Amino acid sequence: MFSKILIANRGEIAVRIIRACKEMGVATVAVYSEADKNALHAALADESYCIGGPEASESYLNEEAIVSTAMVAGAQAIHPGYGFLSENAHFARLCRKNGIVFIGPDPDSMERLSDKAVLKELIKTTGLSVIPGSKAVASAGEAKAAAARIGYPVMLKACAGGGGRGIRLIRTEDELDEAYHQATSEALSAFGDGSVYLEKYIFPARHVELQILADEQGHAVCLGDRDCSLQRRNQKLLEETPSPAVDEYRRRRIMELAVDAVKKIGYVGAGTLEFLLDGEGNFWFMEMNVRLQVEHCVTEMLTGFDLVKWQIRIAAGIPLDFTQEDIRMKGSAIECRINAGSCGTLKMLHVPGGPSVRFESSLVEGTTVSPYYDSLLGKLIVYAKTREETLRKIRASLCELVIDGIPTNIEEQLQIVEDDRFVSGEYDLTFMGNR
């Protein structure tokens, strides 16, 4: 096991990783930008270093500064969290070059799996159904030819995408030229890679994903599914596990296929396979996230397994000490993402409590929300033995959560969990568009 780990991130995920390390007896190193000099993650870590200006490009995306800091601090490994450098193969190689373990998949695997068009061709060999689509298209003309072959409507997506960026729905050929220009420009700005591909638009559909863990010794397990259909502009707002749209037979079958697929592609680490679930209960593979997901907490609450600790153990070469038969998915868990509506300074914070209520955040009174980073303030997660009880618990917890001084979406989240469609479990990706 590592004796010291550097966390190359900020906010609630940096705090989450620091806590896991402390529980494992591992020393921690935090890096922070000038804007985050008073941030909680910098205060909680055993050592903290300022690595640059407030812009992410000057600090949390500054690969050389992060690796240099790890070497000076004597950290044997770097945990990237999610976002920033978490899926950057060049950064993973830089870590390896300097004798530092990158807590995540190896750079070759990351590079191979991060290109969604290439990944789909690979997944086709595993037995999972893949959404009909194209390889990367180099021009609007190529995109039109591919769309005609696939059939409208289609989705135009960034090959190196994530977080809902670089995605456009195209219903007719007349929309394609403008959509192609917008999607490629957005993808280039967000990921430094403007390549895009097309896939068939499945409607109506739900977004359901599967959490996996795989070690270096060839063992892999699936820790169940998460329903992430509550989205606005492809940005997730709320997640729950298990999905109310998946029966036990389909759940067990897709979990088996996911484990087999992960083994066949030789993946190691924590990862997520994302699917669209159509109205007939068919799973269509979309993409794979080769990192920790924001919504990993609901899986932890349901199964009792600490995904962050297992990420670290796997990176240290430690095999999984449990099998698929050891995973029990009894009950229900829901997570609400609490986002800031604008910048501001936190005047008062009150966090709900009680059994199986969890608030993942880096907020403390006096925290200033700056314009430089993501708007996520925290994640409210609850668990109960039944979905009905979980719904009551999340409503009560949202009512008790107080974040004063910063505009938030708490009231909107309360409206969502009280909506009849959500309560019944009869919702899909159109939910936010119909509110």
DSSP per-residue letters across 331-387? SEEEEEEEEBSS-EE--EEE---STTEEEEE---TT-EE-TTS--EEEEEEEEESSH
Question: Residue 318 carries which DSSP code?
Answer: P
Q: Which two tokens stand for residue 364?
A: 């403390």
Cα–Cα distance measured from residue 272 to residue 292, given in angstroms and rounded to the nearest whole number: 8
Return the CA Rg of the chain. 21
Residue 252 annotated in active site:
no
CA dihedral 153, 161, 258, 211 (to 10 degrees): -120
Question: Residue 51 carries which DSSP code?
Answer: E
Catalytically annotated residue among 112, 291, 313, 337: 291
Cα–Cα distance measured from residue 299 to residue 49, given in angstroms and rounded to the nearest whole number: 32
Residue type, 219: H
Residue the block writes with tokens 């957005």: 186
Contact 249, 228 (CB under 8 A): no
Cα–Cα distance measured from residue 114 to residue 87, given in angstroms and rounded to the nearest whole number: 8
* Cβ-based neighbour number of residue 107 at 10 Å: 18
Residue 54: name the closest of 40, 36, 66, 39 by CA. Answer: 36
120, with CB counted inside 10 A (0-12, 13-18, 19+), is buried
CA contacts within 13 A on the Cβ side of 3: 2
Name every residue whose Cβ is closer than 8 Å to that of residue 368 and which is 6 or more positions away in sequence.
Answer: 343, 344, 345, 346
Q: Which two tokens stand for residue 32?
A: 């922070």
Angle at 427 between CA 421 and CA 433, to 5 degrees: 95
- The runs of H, that is alpha helices, within 33-115 are 40-44, 63-73, 89-97, 107-114
Contact 315, 77 (CB under 8 A): yes
> Which sequence positions are flagged as catalytic?
291
